[in-house]
Structure 1
Amino acid sequence: MIDVRRLQLLQALDHHHTVAATAEALNVTPSAVSQQLSVLAKEAGVPLVERKGRRFLLTGAARVLLQRAHVIFAEMERATADLAEYADGDRGVIRVGSFSTGISDLIAPALARLRSSHPGWSFEVVQAEPEESTEMVRSGRLDVALTMSTADLPAHGDPDFRTDPVMVELFDAILPYQHPLAAHTSLDLAADLADQDWIMSAPGTAWHSCVTAACNQAGFQPRVVHTVDDFSAVFALVQAGLGVALMPRLAWTGLNTPQIVVRGVRETARRHIVSLCRAGASPEPLLAAVREAASKVPVPSVGPFAIAG
């Protein structure tokens, strides 16, 4: 009889290639990984891995085994969901991961609603950035992740995962109150913002990649004069008149400062927010509650000097 947990470990090794990387992803020791692989090989009755330098390559037998693993894991998730429904909705603790603004603007209001509509459910929230969410779901450290359509998202059709759309998040211009463009009801990305001094996050971050891609598509490279990763620092620099920023909509909701103006932008950057869980699992009722919260996200003001907040 093959232990399913060891089969999950084999799948992780196939993904990470080394024992050390597999151990780090699963939060266990390398010796534990090696030991469990040896036991799995005995259970299967055939060699499953062969070593090549520091990397481990899966044998043909291991590939055959993993072809069935996707179906096994999905059925286990479905069985867990069925048992949860049978238990009158009491599923214990559901671990939910999300990037910071997703927690404040989507997850928090969704869970507040679920406390009343589904009192038998309990949730544990973990901050998880898009670049780490997929692996946290894969390893079981998260049951559901609210993430975004970056290169770190599993490929479409990946049999290990289920993805569900939540919202399309637009990026809006953040301007000092006295900026000449603040008098406009909306802006054009290239015509109005190409010659501005920009405030942006560091290269390699999701925010930077999304904004620069939109600017490049519009025909220009933004002139970045300040590089910060914290949104509160961005607001402080804009408020001081030191530049403009193109920020995801969830980042400025709830902002309450009279020195900053938010404007919608034509041809702006956008990102797709999605729910990610393992194949066979269901993100409900959390997904419905998160979508409802997303429908209430405010849009930029349209008056000539309307202030966000």
Structure 2
Amino acid sequence: MIDVAALRALRSVATRGTLARAADDLGFTASAVSQQIKRLERQVGVPVLAQAGRGVVLTPAGQAIVDSAPDVFQALERCAEAARSVADGAPRGVLRVVAFSTAIRGLLAPAIKELQKRCPDLKVHVTEQDPDQALHSVDAGTADLALIHDADGLPAQLPPSMTQRHLHTDTGDVVMSRTHPLAQHEKPLASEDLAGHAWVTSPPGTVCHQWFRRLFANAPEEPEVRHLVDDFATQLALVEGGAVLALIPRLARPPLGDGLVAHPLLRQPKREVYAAWRRSADASPAIQAVVSAL
């Protein structure tokens, strides 16, 4: 019979392309993953991987096994859920959640505090991961629940084995010092109101930087960016000096001190936040409890 851990290892190697990357995903050493693959080859009697430069590729036999793996994992998970449903259905055990940082701050942390009171037998373990990596972790079975957001207005591409539920719409505001000339502005800020002011922004490649660039998409001049900082608390420290503005998502925003104020935008940037899990885990009391709390 095929060993489930070895099957999971082969699937991770197929997705990640190397033994080392698969080992990082699974929390093993590359040597341990290699041993699992060799055990799988002994069990099926044929090679499942072949060398390709510094990486590896699946043999036709290996590809056939990987193609069948989701059915195996879903069947095993349905067995486990059936066993849990025989009990009282109370959420218990460990639920592994992977989520992007601002969802951890704004959604998960408050929910966990309440869940500890309602579900004392449930432990939520949280790991920070970007949405693409989080989806892979849940699909591969190394996590149970992912919190993800859309990418620049485009929904994330879920594997067929997964489902999702909308949780939250996150929006961005402009944060400034109370001494800043725009601080007394009574209406939502338009792009033209922001012209000529200096900024601290998140680095290129982040959602918040995309939001910032979109603010000035039709502006005649490039905005003045003085600082590129990924940490929002650090952005606020720079804003408090009074010389720069920041565009910060509400989920990510630490409490504002007395010296800061947040102003909404006329065209608010937004992103949709979803919970995603394997369809075979739909009946999980733990997943349902956490999603309900979120």
TM-score per shorter chain, which class? Answer: 0.7 to 0.9
Counterpart for residue 267 of structure 1: 267
Counterpart position of 1:287: 291
Q: State the one-letter code of the partner of 2:264.
A: G
Q: CA RMSD in A?
A: 2.6
**Could you tell me how far 1:135 is from its partner in structure 2?**
4.4
What are the Cα deviations for residues 230-272 of structure 1, in whole angstroms up to 9, with x where unaligned?
A: 222211211111200110011236x242221111112232222
Aligned mates of 1:121, 1:167 — CA distance in 2? 23
Match of 1:247 in 2: 248
**How far apart, CA to CA, are the structure 2 residues paired with 1:210 and 1:2?**
48
Greater shift, 128-137 or 19-28, is seen at 128-137
Alignment of 1:230-241 (within 5 A): 230-241=231-242
- Number of the residue aligned with 1:307: none
Asked whether the equivalents of residues 149 and 156 of structure 2 are also in contact (C-alpha less than 8 Å), the reply is no
How far apart, CA to CA, are the structure 2 residues paired with 1:73 and 1:150? 28
Identify unmatched segments of 5+ residues in structure 2.
none
Q: Secondary structure at the match of 1:28?
A: coil
In the alignment, the residues of structure 1 paired with residue 131 and residue 111 of structure 2 have an alpha-carbon distance, to the nearest angstrom, of 20
Q: Measure the CA separation in 2 of the matches of 1:161 and 1:44.
A: 28
Contact 2:208 2:247 in 1 (8 A): no
Shift in Å at residue 40 of structure 1?
1.0
Count of matched residue pairs: 287
- Structure 1: distance between partners of 2:166 and 2:288: 13
After alignment, is 187-196 or 125-134 more displaced? 125-134
1:89-128 correspondence to structure 2 within 5 Å: 89-128=90-129
The answer for the alignment partner of 1:12 in structure 2 is 12
Q: Secondary structure at the match of 2:263?
A: strand
Aligned to 1:25: 25
**Would the aligned equivalents of 2:5 and 2:36 in 1 still touch at CA under 8 Å?**
no
Equivalents in 1 of 2:39, 2:155: separation in Å? 29
> AA paired with 2:108?
I
Does the 8 A contact of 2:91 with 2:289 survive in 1?
no
Q: 1:256 to 1:268 in 2, by over 3 A?
A: closer
Residues 25 and 139, structure 1, Cα contact 8 Å, conserved in 2: no
Distance in 2, matches of 1:145 and 1:249, equals 20
d(CA) in 2 for partners of 1:139 and 1:169?
A: 28
Letter matched to residue 6 of structure 1: A
Q: Which runs of 5+ in 1 are unaligned?
A: 291-309
Q: What residue in structure 2 maps to residue 306 of structure 1? A: none
| TM-score normalised by the chain length of structure 2 | 0.85
- Secondary structure (helix, strand or coil) at the match of 1:46 reads coil
TM-score (norm 1): 0.82
**Cα distance change on mapping 1:79 and 1:211 into 2, 3 Å:** farther
Q: Deviations over 1:183-228 (max 9, x none)?
A: 223434422224321111222334324433x335555754211122
Give me the whole-angstrom Cα distance separating, in 2, the residues matched to 1:195 and 1:78: 59
Q: Which residue of 2 aligns with 1:202?
A: 203
Residue in 2 aligned with 1:48?
Answer: 48
